[in-house]
Homo-oligomer: A and B are copies of this chain.
Amino acid sequence: MKRATIRDVAEKAGVSISTVSRVLNNPEAVTEEKGKKVLEVIEELGYSPNALARGLIHKRTKTLGVLVPDVSNIYAAGVLRGMEDAARERGLNLIICNTDLKRERMTEYLHILSEKQVDGIIYTSEPVFPDVYEAFQRLKLPVVLASTHSLEYPLPSVKIHDEQAAYEATQYLIKQGHTEIGMISGPLSDPIAGLPRLQGYMRAILEQNWHYHFEQTVEYGHYRYEDGFEAMERLHRKYPQLTAVFCASDEMALGVISYLAQQGMSVPHDVSVVGFDNTRIAHICLPKLTTVSQPLHDIGYCTVQKMEELLEHGEVKELRTYLPHQLVIRDSVRSLV
């Protein structure tokens, strides 16, 4: 059996389709009596309006497209959750698209989303490459960036201040009396979570007028557990006197701890470790990780808020929003003072 249309309802209720439309969209403009009758028939037929038809007319679908590198990533999933909460409150829906950092997949998704007439696009975690920006332009779709930003292009964005957060995390280690502080950084080529966090670390160290050769005190990895493990192996070899390590992600921090454990060193007794992100694992593992907390949920939530603002007014008051981060003190740092 086919689903009922507005026409079916109108017929059965003995009114015109516009009356039915009115009880749904503008009930005051209809006699109470007829209104009630129509509502009854709607209930009886299990009628519900076709959003496609509506969207065709209004040119609004109440649907947003979300481009994310990988939903199964715990960080992305947290942000996504915040988006979804904000979206629900506003009657919006989210179509999620895994890009896996593949450019072709991104443009492919962008096309599909455009055809599906989404009201806007949320672009997550990745730098905005010129060809991507161009695609945004061509599609003429509102775009908001989540946990990434762009200094080249005027795109609204929501993230934390990574450089400052890393600065504060390093400063904390310094305040605890550490003077030999290494870092496991993300890739230098990552302008979002790589370079800025490294810069924050360096700023804190440079402030001390210490004699650091950063080539000796910094290693790199792609944020994953295994990367942290391997990077720590390299770092420890070239910088054995370190007493603390600041990591650009929680997973890498756990890799570091794991490597140290394997070498018979314990955290925080022998080496102190600070992570970044405050993902769920940070307070689950042993020792519990001192880490920089990103307000994942808020970032997602605020991104959708911003999108709504953009949709309503055609512009946003604050182009680039930097949400507050927080250093969460747990058990992975030892005080030397």
Given A72-B78, A81-B98, A258 and B280 contact (CB-CB distance below 8 Å): no
Minimum CB–CB distance from A279 to chain B (whole Å) comes to 9
Rounded to whole Å, the gap between the CB of A85 and the closest CB of chain B is 7
State whether A52 and B63 are in contact (beta carbons under 8 Å apart), knowing that A71-B71, A95-B95 are contacts in the complex.
no
Instruction: Please indicate the chain B residues that have their CB under 8 angstroms from the CB of A52 in the complex.
Output: 52, 55-56, 61, 116-117
Contact with B along A270-294 (1 / 0, CB 8 A): 0000000000110111100000000
The distance in angstroms between the C-alpha atoms of A3 and B251, with both chains bound, is 44
A337 interface contact, C-beta 8 A: no
A164 in contact (CB, < 8 A): no
- Are the C-beta atoms of A94 and B96 separated by less than 8 Å? yes
Contact call B112/A93, Cβ cutoff below 8 A: yes
Mark out the residues of chain A between 1 and 40 whose CB falls within 8 Å of any chain B CB in the assembled complex: 1, 3
Does A114 lie at the interface of the complex (its beta carbon under 8 Å from any beta carbon of B)? yes
A84 CA to B65 CA, complexed, in Å: 14
Q: Report the minimal beta-carbon distance from A5 to chain B, rounded to whole angstroms.
A: 11
Q: What is the distance, in angstroms, from A118's C-beta to the closest C-beta of chain B?
A: 10
Q: Report the minimal beta-carbon distance from A115 to chain B, rounded to whole angstroms.
A: 4
Give CA–CA (A143, B280) in the complex, Å: 32
Contact status B225-A284, CB under 8 Å: yes
Q: Identify the closest chain B residue to A66 (Cβ).
A: B96
Does chain B have a CB within 8 A of A151?
no
A77 touches B85 (CB 8 A): no
Interface centre among A52, A73, A111, A225 (most CB of B within 10 A): A52
CA distance A52 to B118 in the complex (A): 10
Is there a chain B Cβ closer than 8 Å to A46's Cβ?
yes
Residue of B nearest to A137 (CB): B46
With A52-B56, A254-B284 known, 15 other A-B pairs at CB within 8 A are A52-B55, A56-B56, A61-B116, A72-B74, A72-B77, A72-B297, A74-B74, A81-B98, A84-B97, A88-B105, A93-B97, A94-B95, A94-B96, A257-B286, A258-B284
Residues on A lying within 8 angstroms of B by beta carbon are: 1, 3, 46, 48-53, 55-56, 61, 63, 70-74, 76-78, 80-81, 84-85, 88, 91, 93-98, 105, 111-112, 114-117, 138, 140, 225, 251, 254-255, 257-258, 261, 280-281, 283-286, 296-297
